[in-house]
Amino acid sequence: MASLAVVTNTNSSLISAIRNLVCPLCGASMLEFRCLGYCRSDWRQDWERAICAGSNSEGPRSGKSRVKHRV
């Protein structure tokens, strides 16, 4: 279970960096998914992988709470 937390944390960090247009590897600015710094990495595949992993781990979204309250 601990490995899942590490993967989720890593995905969250990657997603956050890309959303803020900061290269996760070298910290330089980005244009869309391409680093403008010295590493010139393209993060599109990593982004798609992180988004897919995040949507699979969250489970179904029905908009309804699964917790039932007793009256």
Give 29-43 pLDDT, tens digit per residue. 999 999 999 999 999
Counting Cβ atoms within 10 Å, is residue 7 exposed (0-12), middle (13-18) or buried (19+)? middle
The model's confidence at residue 57, banded by pLDDT at 50, 70 and 90, is low
- Mean pLDDT for all residues in the chain: 77
Give Cα 28 distance to the centre of its chain: 18
Question: On the CB side of 28, how many CA atoms lie within 13 Å of its CA?
Answer: 16
Alpha-carbon distance 15 to 8, whole Å?
A: 10
